[in-house]
Chain A
Amino acid sequence: MSLESQELSELKLKIGRDPTSTELQIVAAEWSEHCSYKSSKKHLKMLPMKGPLVIHEKGYDSGVLDVGNDYVVTAHIESHNHPSAVEPYGGAATGVGGVIRDILSAGTRPIAIFNGLRFGNIEKDQQARWLFKNAVTGIADYGNCLGIPTIGGEVEFDDCYQNYALVDVAAVGFGKKENLIKNHAKIGDLVVLLGGSTGRDGMGGSQFASDSLESEDRSAVQIPDPFIEKLIIEAILEARNHNLINAIKDLGGGGLSCAVSETADALGVGIEMDVNMVHTRESNMHSDEIMISESQERMLIVTNKTKSKKLREICKKFRITCSVIGHIKSGNQMHVKKGKKTLANLPTNVVANATLLDLPSKKPAYLKTIEKEKKFKPISDYSKTMMALLAAPNIASKIWVYGQYDHEVGIRTVVKPGHDASVLRLDNGKFLSVKIDGNPKQCYINPREGAIGCFEEACRNVVCTGAKPIGMLDHLQFGNPKDPEIFWTFLESLKGLTDFANDTKIPCVGGKVSLYNETPTGPIKPTPLIGVLGLIDKNPLIPQKITEGDCLVIVGDTKDEMGGSEYFEYIHNFIGGKCPVVNFTESKKNMKTVLKVIQNQLLKSVHDCSKGGLAVAVSELCMTNQIGCNIFLDKVPGEKLDVVRILFSESHSRYLLVMEKKNLKKVEDMLRKDKVSFKLIGQFNGEKIQFTKGTKSIISLRVDKAHKTWFNSLKDLVLHG
């Protein structure tokens, strides 16, 4: 954990002298990849960040969207990959804590948590099971203790995450526009550290996150304390109501070093602070340790002398410690003292702005041949294959995961987890729909199209609830960026996301980059994770029970796009083929039309086709509604394809619309008018999921049996190995 030699000479040049040891520690933390985004920042600017609903303020850690009637929604996404890979329980829990404090620092109350989890092969690998089990428990325990519902997410397993974990957490906040904290500071204002005490836990975590994970010999673990977090939330919101906060910043990676330098830099002021004033857990902590400790549940607040009295009272009421550790001064220096002795005195623009890199990129060699498909033996029994897919960890019901999360606390949850996207009721009569999606299998085969696919899938999911996408969060997770081939995949994904965001006019309201995600067997597959927020003005589509005689219409074409599909990877253990490509025109048209049909209240439920293709999507509808369905594969619109491809291709922009028979004609008329590709492909009845082609039965499964397998297999795998 130190600066590279050219960075050290650069620092010397910028400050015109040798840095002190404290200065070195501060700069090493702040110039780490984790805090400075030095490899990615130059390129991230390409994402469109502006939009009619986006509110920008300096120093915000979360994105802010205006949802009307003087209310705002805030959103942020973070990961805690490196800590979770060595201590899944604490790592995942503190990840939740961190993202919640980002929401809080805009002055909004956190109202929902989401998580995206990725682990190695849990069928074979005991370590992966251990990581999975403990990460889920960590998130559940932390979120449940806070009284914030965890309402959605996704879980995926892939060999590329062997001995590793990707734990991504997103949070959404809600509040009055007038209560947003507008960060500002005046000379003489006080700098207050509030919350948990500073200890040796999580020492050097940000630099740890910027190194490849090689050994377990690290001490960057943090212990979660959700009860302090809850008190902090309430104390901050009360302080906000009394207008006591001039500026606020969460202490995350890089601890005090980053919080102080970034606050000063964002507000254009200097800060003088004394490490002796920081409340510590142990008495013998070194000043450098105090500056870079990443102890959890801490906030930095700028307030003035008069307000600080009331702030202290609030802290006392909630029994959380707060200490005045310094004050705002003119200039732009970050002046760290220990009593009278100066430990560090650096210009904040130097500390907070590492020199951005322009890393070389090169198209990976493996991509040359990846699209070539292997020939497989024809399948003799599709029903058997289908049952195997329904039991596959990536497809099986995730009830074991979200069943541990309190997803109803706060009584806002209108559409609960287990559907396409979850929906929250807002105080202004509107509804917010949110989903996060990723797909490393497709992103590996085609980083650009794969990333766009994740984005479109998240959009599709919120559209299924009747919501119009209004903002996007991106979380870009890749291996070591110094490898030009990996950096190329990063750039391609980013360009893809930018193009789709520009085309659909969905602004990026927040994001995160996590690099150096390497396992002992090599880099992870490119894993961009996209969160989409959608707004529903009036009526969310709450899925209604499907009954005998209901019709099933598919919107969108099924194409020959098997690359990265669960069918190829899980059934045939084959990585390759052509990755699904989003056709922008088709995508927008389908989204718009489906939304229109939903708004006309003609549908019982809408489900998107994604993992496992059409076959899995239809089966999910049947299983969750305990009803059979006859599907005619000849009717599925799109290219002329063989049975396997119609069933399992994971082409985008496809929606399954379920409606009562009496509404069929109206729906068809609307779809026809908008010229989208659609077909009536089946009808619900009986107790069997039945796919036929011509007169030939291809798949025939009893719903109850399929349901039992799909519903229980993940739980059985985790609990009984």
Chain B
Amino acid sequence: MTTFNVHVTIENKPGISDPEGDTILNDLVLKGTHKTVSKIKTAKMLKFTIKEKDKKIAQSKVQEICAELRIYNPMVSIVTIDVFDA
């Protein structure tokens, strides 16, 4: 068994509005001098530390946990799961 760090990023599906990201962009970043920024999207990240046989199993296990426990709502959000060696 190897220990892996698994990062789960949860964000709104493309096309669904993101008021928080828009507010940070319009009312903070663009208010300053950073005119080159065109978009900001907010997301939530969960960092799992998990012991599994290999990277692939670690990823599918975390995916399974997220779906089973409704850690995100597939109607609204998409998740990206990245696995790193601990």
Which residues of chain B are near A216, meaning CB under 8 Å? Answer: 74-75
Please provide the 6 A-B residue pairs with the shortest distance between their CB atoms, ordered closest to farther: A200-B15, A225-B19, A223-B17, A86-B75, A87-B75, A201-B16
Chain A CB within 10 Å, residue with most, of B12, B73, B74? B73
B76 in contact with A225 (CB, 8 Å): no
How many Cβ-Cβ contacts under 8 Å join chain A to chain B? 42
Docked complex Cα distance between A196 and B74 (Å)? 24
The B contact surface, by secondary structure, is: loop
Q: Which A residues have a C-beta under 8 Å from some C-beta of B?
A: 86-87, 89-90, 130, 196-197, 199-201, 216, 218-219, 221, 223-225, 227-228, 281-282, 295
A199 touches B17 (CB 8 A): yes
Other than the given A86-B73, A86-B75, 8 more pairs (CB < 8 A) read A130-B70, A200-B15, A201-B16, A201-B17, A221-B16, A223-B16, A224-B19, A228-B19
Residues A221 and B76 in contact, CB atoms below 8 Å apart: yes
- Chain B residues near A90 (CB, 8 Å)? 76
* Minimum Cβ distance to chain B for residue A237 (Å): 22
Asked if A199 and B73 make an inter-chain contact with CB atoms under 8 angstroms apart, the answer reads no
Q: Write out the residue numbers on chain B whose beta carbons fall within 8 Å of the beta carbon of A228.
A: 19
- Cα(A218)–Cα(B75), bound, Å: 7
| Cα-based distance from A343 to B17 in the complex (angstroms) | 27
Shortest C-beta distance, A651 to chain B (Å), equals 42
**In the complex, are the beta carbons of B19 and A201 less than 8 A apart?**
no
Contacts of B12 in A (CB 8 A): 223
A227 touches B15 (CB 8 A): no
CB contacts (< 8 Å) of B23 on chain A: these are 227
Q: How far is the CA of A454 from the CA of B74 in the complex (A)?
A: 37
| Distance of B11 from chain A, by nearest CB (Å) | 12
A-side contacts of B75, CB under 8 Å: 86-87, 216, 218-219, 221
Q: Is the CB of B76 within 8 A of A87?
A: yes
Decide: B15 and A199 in contact? CB cutoff 8 A. yes
A86, B75: Cα distance in complex, Å = 7
Is there contact, CB below 8 Å, between B70 and A225? no
Contact with A along B61-76 (1 / 0, CB 8 A): 0000000001001111
Complexed CA–CA distance, A281 and B75 (Å): 19
Other-chain contact of B16, A130, A197, A199, A218 (Cβ < 8 Å):
A199
Q: Which residues of A contact B19 (CB under 8 A)?
A: 223-225, 227-228
CA distance A602 to B42 in the complex (A): 58
For A281, the chain B residues whose CB sits under 8 A away are 15, 17
Partner of B15 from A86, A130, A282 at Cβ < 8 Å? A282
CB distance from B31 to the nearest CB of A (A): 11
* Contact present for A196 and B17 (CB under 8 Å): yes
Chain B residue nearest to A224 (CB atoms) is B19
What are 18 A-B pairs at a CB distance below 8 A?
A86-B73, A86-B75, A87-B73, A87-B75, A90-B76, A130-B70, A196-B17, A199-B15, A201-B17, A219-B75, A221-B76, A223-B16, A223-B17, A223-B19, A224-B19, A228-B19, A281-B15, A281-B17
A280–B7 Cα distance when bound, in Å, is 33
* Bound: A439/B41 CA distance, A: 44
A219 CB contacts on chain B under 8 angstroms: 13, 75
Contacts of B18 in A (CB 8 A): 223
Interface positions of B from 32 to 86, Cβ below 8 Å from A: 70, 73-76
Give the distance in Å from the alpha carbon of A87 to the alpha carbon of B72 in the complex.
10
- Residues in A neighbouring B70, C-beta threshold 8 A: 130
- B74: chain A residues at CB < 8 Å are 216
A355 to chain B, nearest CB (A): 33
In the complex, A219 Cα to B15 Cα: how many Å?
A: 10
